């Protein structure tokens, strides 16, 4: 079955630690995205990538980093510089560039920083 | 003004009722419009795209009003399984050289027996 997988589903970390969230897709999509969702707020774009080896900052990139070494994979690292990292993180992909394309979401990772 | 604005609800309706949600957007250059459905603690899933002429998918009808800059979603014959949060999603328009979609905060629907 084609789709997007994110792991782990739940993640707990101590304050000050970096943590990497995994996102893999087998849909052969060029574009991939990372969002965070907080209660009462819409999804906010952290980073996105239109093609392998290229990515751009979204609206709230501070304290995060990404890489896109393979088409299938777009891991997100939440660094200790992120002031409020506890959130629901969603990875998405779309067939290509252009916001006319539907974005497909993975099941998400709930990160709690203690 | 928020880029995408929705009434958070909740809308509490009985089974079989018809319910409508509106969503306003601020960028007149926006070209792409979607309704996503999000169940509690799950990922959003596309419900339907919204086309200029309006479109229907079973019990769901989506409409776009460019002059007033809003889109709407109508659900007829509500089912218990329709209970979810409905997200209005709009792209930033051709003046932006990105793929950015802007997600509304969602409207919560609760259908009761």
Q: How far apart are CA A4 and CA A22, in angstroms?
A: 10
Of B43, B49, B106, the CB nearest to A106: B43
Give the pLDDT confidence of A39-60 residue by residue, as tens digits. 888 899 999 999 999 999 999 9
Give the pLDDT confidence of B28-59 residue by residue, as tens digits. 888 889 999 999 999 999 999 998 888 999 99
Composition of chain A by helix, strand, coil, percent to 5: 0, 50, 50
Please say if the pLDDT value at position B88 is more than 60: yes
Nearest chain B alpha carbon to A98: B99
Quick one: three-class SS letters along chain B?
A: CCCEEECCCCEEEECCCCEEEEEEECCCCCCCEEEEEECCCCCEEEEEECCCCCEEECCEEEEEECCCCEEEEEECCCCHHHCEEEEEEEECCCCCCCCCEEECCCEEEEEEC
Nearest chain A alpha carbon to B31: A100
Q: Of A106, A84, A87, A114, give the one whose Cα is nearest residue A33.
A: A106
Query: Which residues of chain A does B106 touch, with a Cβ-Cβ cutoff of 8 Å?
Result: 42
Q: How far apart are CA B49 and CA B56, in angstroms?
A: 10
Kindly state the average pLDDT of the residues B98-108: 85
- Beta strands A10-13 and A109-113, pairing class: parallel
- Cis peptide before A68, with omega less than 30 degrees from 0? no
Please say if the pLDDT value at position B95 is more than 70: no
Of B41, B44, B101, the CB nearest to A99: B101
Give the pLDDT confidence of B5-15 residue by residue, as tens digits. 999 999 999 99
E strands, A10-70, in order: 10-13, 19-25, 31-37, 44-51, 54-57, 64-66
- Other beta carbons less than 10 A from residue A92's beta carbon: 25
CB contact under 8 A, A42 and B31: no
By the 8 A CB rule, do B48 and B32 touch? Answer: no
Give the pLDDT confidence of A53-107 residue by residue, as tens digits. 999 999 999 999 999 999 999 999 999 889 899 999 999 999 876 667 788 999 9
A77 bridge partner residues? A20, A65
Give the DSSP H or E segment for A5.
strand A4-7
Q: How far apart are CA B47 and CA A44, in angstroms?
A: 20
Confidence of residue B97 (pLDDT cuts 50, 70, 90): very low
């Amino acid at each position: 079955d084609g789709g997007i997988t994110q792991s782990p589903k739940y993640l707990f970390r101590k304050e000050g630690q970096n943590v990497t969230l995994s996102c893999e897709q087998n849909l052969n999509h060029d574009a991939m995205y990372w969002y965070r969702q907080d209660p009462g707020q819409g999804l906010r774009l952290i980073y996105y990538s239109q093609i392998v080896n290229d990515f751009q900052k979204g609206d709230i990139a501070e304290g995060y980093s990404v890489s896109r070494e393979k088409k299938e994979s777009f891991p997100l690292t939440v660094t200790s510089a992120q002031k409020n990292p506890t959130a629901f993180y969603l990875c998405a992909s779309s067939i290509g560039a252009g916001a006319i394309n539907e974005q497909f979401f993975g099941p998400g990772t709930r990160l709690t920083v203690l | 003004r928020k880029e995408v604005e929705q009434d958070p609800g909740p809308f509490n309706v009985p089974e079989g009722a018809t319910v409508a949600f509106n969503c306003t957007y601020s960028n007149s250059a926006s070209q792409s419009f979607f309704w996503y459905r999000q169940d509690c603690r799950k990922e959003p899933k596309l419900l339907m795209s919204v086309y200029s002429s309006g479109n229907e998918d079973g019990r769901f009808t989506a409409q776009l009003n460019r002059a007033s800059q809003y889109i709407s979603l109508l659900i007829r014959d509500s089912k218990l399984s329709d209970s979810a949060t409905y997200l209005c999603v709009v792209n930033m328009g051709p003046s932006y050289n990105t793929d950015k979609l802007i997600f509304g905060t969602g409207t919560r629907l609760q259908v009761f027996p």
